[in-house]
Amino acid sequence: MRSFAMTTDASTTSAECPECSARLPVPAGTVKGEILPCGECLAELEVTGLEPLTLALAPEVEEDWGE
Amino acid sequence: MRHTKVGLVCSRVRVEEKMLIDAFASRPGVEVVRVDDDLLDAPLSGAAAPHGAAAQLKGCDVVLLRALGHFRQVALAQLVESWSLPVVNASHVIETCGDKVRTTLALTAAGVPSPSSRLAFTQEAALEAVEELGYPCVIKPPVGSWGRLVARVNDRDAAEAVLEHKDLLGGPLHRVIYLQAHVDKPGRDLRAFVLDGHTVAAIGRRSDHWVTNTARGARAEAVAVTPELADLCRAAASAVGGGALAIDLLEGGDGLLVNEVNATMEFRNSVEPTGVDIPGLLVEHTLRLLASST
């Protein structure tokens, strides 16, 4: 998984997409490991931590992805 | 003013693609046609005309490819070239840069210095190559990026383990074994952004980990584009076919070595430290390619 996890304030109900920097809402009751879609760039994001809230790109990178 | 349609093929709209869209939008007379490669269905033969995303793409004047997968990038470039449209980058450049075996052979043929490397296909032959390269050495998949599955092996036990895993768990690509001498770099490697042979910016990628890739957390710092760096990058770019390239270099004891060449440059972490408008320059490169082809 690409290491773009972003740490946000645990008290916020939104977080920054590590892909496009857009703010996305994080619903109450979100659990670690949940996949959240970014409404702006459509990236699938995995909640990797709750306190503090952290997001990372979901582990779906294909073998030949990259530069 | 002539209206120019630029096809921007992308799997995801990441920070880089947003910067490119903004840069194109700031050019008068330029329209960006964003094409999602997931939706593409293009006829390769037969009488059917392209429709949907393929028709959109074929209707462009020039194409900038930003798909995430190497094999998709090659196929897309070949498709666009079959329509006689200029494309960044050309398919042969993507093919060469996306395969470390091809890259090394191209660099070597052009006399561009790179780390010592070997090619093997079996565990036994690869182990012999490792022993000759010496420890530590690096085993890389021939196709791959972002530092994935790159292994530094410090001793024979580790080499045997990695090679057995590749043999038993990997697909056909992992049975093409690319081995490279480890270069004891000073806590960083260099990344140069090269357009038409000109190095427009360079960064150092610093990390406490031996993998110095910003996708793996390395920090970017600006470095000066010295004549040595510019000359070597010009030669490396020419060796792989030119275009828009991100060249990775190692600072070895005897001078700079070209480690890898990337044909779909990522630059989100490089604009700020260098102060160079890399997406703007990539846009200019794309429009220049169109101008030179008409």
Query: How many C-beta atoms lie closer than 10 Å to residue B209's C-beta?
Result: 11
Q: Which residue of A has its CA nearest to B65?
A: A67
Please give the residue that has the higher pLDDT: either B12 or B87.
B87
- How far apart are the C-alpha atoms of B221 and B37, rounded to whole Å? 33
Q: How many CA atoms within 13 Å lie on the side-chain side of A36?
A: 28
Q: Do A63 and B143 touch (CB under 8 A)?
A: yes
State mean pLDDT over A6-13: 50
- How far apart are the C-alpha atoms of A44 and B148, rounded to whole Å? 20
Architecture of domain B4-88+283-293: 3-Layer(aba) Sandwich (3.40)
Please give the residue that has the higher pLDDT: either A59 or B203.
B203
A7 pLDDT band, cuts 50/70/90, is: very low
pLDDT digits (tens, 9 = 90+) for B89-138: 999 999 999 999 999 999 999 999 999 999 999 999 999 999 999 999 99
Q: Do B68 and A21 touch (CB under 8 A)?
A: no
How far is the CA of B64 from the CAs of B19, B80, B277, B282, B283, in angstroms? Answer: 13, 10, 17, 9, 9
pLDDT digits (tens, 9 = 90+) for A37-64: 898 998 889 888 888 888 988 866 777 8
Q: Which fold has domain B117-181?
A: Dna Ligase; domain 1 (3.30.1490)
ipTM of the prediction? 0.73
Nearest CB to B69; choose among A21, A40, A65: A65
CB B91 within 8 Å of CB B242 = no
CATH superfamily assigned to domain B185-263: ATP-grasp fold, B domain (3.30.470.20)
Is the model's pLDDT at B65 over the cut of 70? yes
**Out of A37-46, B196-205, B232-241, B270-279, least confident range:** A37-46
Query: How many C-beta atoms lie closer than 10 Å to residue A5's C-beta?
Result: 16
**Whether the model pTM is above 0.90:** no
All structural domains of chain A, each given as residue ranges with its CATH number in brackets, are 6-57 (2.20.28.160)
Give the start-to-end residue ranges of the domains of chain B.
4-88+283-293, 117-181, 185-263
Which helix (H) or strand (E) segment holds residue B261: the answer is strand B255-262
Q: How far is A49 from chain B, CA to nearest CA, in Å?
A: 18
